[in-house]
Amino acid sequence: MKAKIVILLAAVLIIALPFLLRRHETAAPADALDLVIVTPHNEAIRHEFGRAFSKWHAANYGQPVRVDWRAIGGTTEISRYLVSEFLNASRPWWKKLGNDWPATANDSLLDGKFATTNSDSMSQLWKKFRDTDDAKQFSSRVDLFFGGGEYDHSRMAAQGLTVVPWPKGSEPTNLFYAADGTPLIPEKISGETWRTPIMQGNAIATFGICYNTDRLRELGLTNAPTSWEELAQPIYFRQLGVADPTKSASIAAVFELIVQQKCLAAVHAAGFNDAQISAFEKSPTNAPAEYQQAIERGWADGLSLVQRIGANARYFTDSSSKIPVDVGMGNCAAGLCVDFYGRYESQYANASTTNERMGFVIPATGSRVSADPVSLLRGAEHRELAVRFIEFTLSEDGQKIWCYKPGTPGGPEKYALRRIPIRRDFYPSDNPALNARHLEHLKYAADNLADPNINPYAIASRFEYHARWTGKHFGVMRDIVRAMCIDSSDELQKAWPAAALNPEHLAALAKLPTLPEPLTWSSSLTLQKKHDRMDLMLAWTEFYRANYRTLAPRPRRRKLPKTGTLRRPNFQPLESEISNPPSQIPVTGTLHDENFQPLDFVSSVCLLGLLP
């Protein structure tokens, strides 16, 4: 009986607790207009933008807005969801017009590269679908896609799912250009597309390195990493958190940047200066053979650098937030991550300590500056309101939400979002009018917008992007990284510590696949067209696995390590290891050591106390 009473009381307490702690939020007024937005953004961003837009709309158009956020996961889920919605919505519409639904429609309707002819029904459907933007005809019943990367928005545009919010020439004044004609939101910057007529970049994501100083100290490193090259040193073996480029277009863009920079280094090393480079890139047919060869070399160098970073990876994750959290907790020594995640986690990791436990840097050689856009979906039921939302997010009022401290005038209410706004007038400028606005924003911003490591215009100016070098290789490089680092990670990690000590092995490690034919900068583009993607990936993966196996030291009989050796040895790197690029790391004996083998299972079980 006593037990029953205790259980009953506990149950009552557990159920009552949420009711006792409940906070009442103000519900949207009854006359509010509805707007439906699908987004991968988190609750903080949804809350602040929903609230701020409603307020802005009430002030400018007299009515508040209730944003109906549809949060169904990440961009993969959203993309599938919208494809499914559009196919299911257009089928009854097409049949109602008296047509048959072509058998190939599910595959071809949203294929941006579908070749239309004049007569067949599939072409008719394809064209008619793209000519129709009317909720009464068909609609996904979602108005906007907000957030996600430029890649996702471009893909949806190619699929025909999104439409232009403003007809050409009727864009709101003062949104894209200042009164004196200075661009406020450029269309392109250092290889990144920030806006097109169909999608509007909104906040910027830059990429950098987050690190845990305690872990670095244990590895014998005194300075934080400041370049991608440093992360390729064998001292970081199994210490890096890396995102999976096949699942995140933005991390794929970081790898592209690494390869770009290697191409530039190779072209410089071959004796070409910047003036020559821009001349040759304008008319590549005039470029001498040595110049092309230098790009080929640089491209291979870049992949080799990516390979070595991949060899140091503890994992390739699909979750962008996992890496900074792991670094903050000390599970990884360093990782590649987006600016706001890195800075935010650092703040929290350092909250209860006086020394800097975690930090975040943008590499000195620059970073990608990718935009998170917003796009209007075809057949939006609340089209007018949706277009106003786009206008709001691009206006100064909307941009303040991204970067102001909570509670500041015009800023967010509860959460500091700490995202980097896209508008030029938030950053230092030679233009006095723009700079005056910048100084005003600086007063309330959560981060120092004048910091050249935050200002995306400053970061972008650190390097010039050459589209011909890597632009078309974007897709194929992702597949190479997958085969080279992810699908063959076990073999790579067995080969890497030993190979790192031997220049010959290092060169062998970097060998590019020779099957089905030699992979080079120029062949990679034609290879994709000639072969099925899956066959190609398989051939590459098998090549890499086999290659790594030949480089791995022969397995020795594993002995149960003595208790004292369970602990991983600390590497004591030479000064030169830290300052030199990894290809020139001198041979030392500390790395290939059987102590390095993973902890024995039996000992780990015993230590966990599972086997008494």
Partner 1 sequence: MKNRLAHFIFVFAAIIFAVLFLAPLWMVISGGFHDANGFTLKYLAGVFKNPIYAEGLLNSLCIALGTTTLVCLIAIPLAWMANRFDFAGKKLVSALILVPMILPPFVGAIGFQQMLGPYGALNALLGCGPIDWLGQNQYFGVIMLQALGLYPIMYLNAAAALANIDPAMEEAAANIGCRAWRRFFKITLPLTMPGLFAGGTIVFIWSFTELGTPLIMNYTRCAPVQVFDALKEIGSNPFPYALVFVMLTASALLYTASKLLFGRNSYAMQSKAATVSATREVSGLRGALVLLPFALVIFAALTPHLGVILTSVSAPGSWYQTILPASFTSDHFVAALGHDMTISSIRNSLLFSSLAVFFDIILGIAIAFVIVRSDIRGRGILDALAMLPLAVPGLVMAFGYLAISSQISNQEWVKNSPAWQQLFDVRVNPTLFLVIAYSVRRLPYIVRSAVAGLQQTSVTLDEAAANLGAGFLTRLRKITVPLIAANLIAGALLAFAFSMLEVSDSIMLAQRTEFFPITKTIYELFQLIGTGRFIAAALGVWAMAFLAITIAGSSALLGKKLGAIFRA
- The neighbour count for residue 387, using CB atoms within 10 Å, is 17
Angle separating helix axes 432-444 and 396-403, nearest 10 degrees = 40
The interface region with partner 1, picked from 40-48, 393-401, 497-505, 574-582 by CB under 8 A, is 40-48
Task: Work out whether 121 is an interface residue with partner 1 (CB under 8 A).
Answer: no
Report the candidate in 367, 362, 365, 360 with the shortest Cα–Cα distance to residue 213.
Answer: 360
Residue 541 C-beta: closest distance to partner 1, Å: 6
Task: Work out whether 574 is an interface residue with partner 1 (CB under 8 A).
Answer: no
Name which position in 69, 101, 176, 177 contacts partner 1 (CB under 8 A).
69
- The neighbour count for residue 225, using CB atoms within 10 Å, is 23
The interface region with partner 1, picked from 16-24, 179-187, 228-236, 511-519 by CB under 8 A, is 16-24
The interface region with partner 1, picked from 168-176, 270-278, 346-354, 504-512 by CB under 8 A, is 346-354
| Beta carbon nearer to partner 1, 18 or 409 | 18
Interface characters, 191-230, with partner 1 (x: CB under 8 A): -----------------------xx--x------------
| Beta carbon nearer to partner 1, 360 or 457 | 360
- For residues 332 and 323, the answer to whether their CB atoms sit within 8 Å is yes
Task: Work out whether 132 is an interface residue with partner 1 (CB under 8 A).
Answer: no
Task: Work out whether 604 is an interface residue with partner 1 (CB under 8 A).
Answer: yes
Q: Residues 553 to 572: which contact partner 1 by CB under 8 A?
A: 566-568
| Beta carbon nearer to partner 1, 46 or 424 | 46
Q: Residues 275 to 304: which contact partner 1 by CB under 8 A?
A: none
**C-alpha Rg value of the chain to the nearest Å:** 27
Task: Work out whether 599 is an interface residue with partner 1 (CB under 8 A).
Answer: yes
Identify the three-state secondary structure at position 350.
Answer: coil
Task: Work out whether 143 is an interface residue with partner 1 (CB under 8 A).
Answer: no
Identify the three-state secondary structure at position 15.
Answer: helix
| Beta carbon nearer to partner 1, 269 or 602 | 602
3-state SS of 415-471 is CCCCCEECCHHHCCCCCHHHHHHHHHHHHHECCCCCCCCCCHHHHHCCCCCCHHHHH
The length of the chain is 612
Interface characters, 354-383, with partner 1 (x: CB under 8 A): ---x--------------------------
Task: Work out whether 68 is an interface residue with partner 1 (CB under 8 A).
Answer: yes
Structure tokens at 36: 């439906």
Name which position in 534, 555, 560, 587 contacts partner 1 (CB under 8 A).
534
Name which position in 55, 66, 70, 511 contacts partner 1 (CB under 8 A).
70
| Beta carbon nearer to partner 1, 73 or 586 | 73
| Beta carbon nearer to partner 1, 283 or 352 | 352
Residue 136 C-beta: closest distance to partner 1, Å: 11
Long-range contacts of 100-107 (CB under 8 A, 24+ apart): 101/125
Which secondary-structure segment (H or E) carries 316? strand 313-317
- Please tell me the distance from the alpha carbon of residue 400 to that of residue 421, in angstroms, as a whole number: 8
- For residues 38 and 81, the answer to whether their CB atoms sit within 8 Å is yes
Render 132-186 in DSSP notation, one character per residue.
Answer: ---TTT---S--EEESS-HHHHHHHHHHT-EE-SS-TT-SPTTTSB-TTS-BSS-
* Binding residues for partner 1, total number by CB under 8 A: 100
| Beta carbon nearer to partner 1, 89 or 287 | 89
Strand partners, 146: 374
Q: Residues 85 to 104: which contact partner 1 by CB under 8 A?
A: 85, 88-89, 91-92, 103-104
The interface region with partner 1, picked from 126-134, 187-195, 197-205, 246-254 by CB under 8 A, is 246-254
Interface characters, 304-323, with partner 1 (x: CB under 8 A): ----------xxxxx--x--
Task: Work out whether 491 is an interface residue with partner 1 (CB under 8 A).
Answer: no
Residue 349 C-beta: closest distance to partner 1, Å: 5
Report the candidate in 161, 200, 199, 189 with the shortest Cα–Cα distance to residue 398.
Answer: 200
| Beta carbon nearer to partner 1, 60 or 84 | 84
The amino acid at residue 164 is V
Backbone angles phi, psi at 513, to 5 degrees: -55, 145
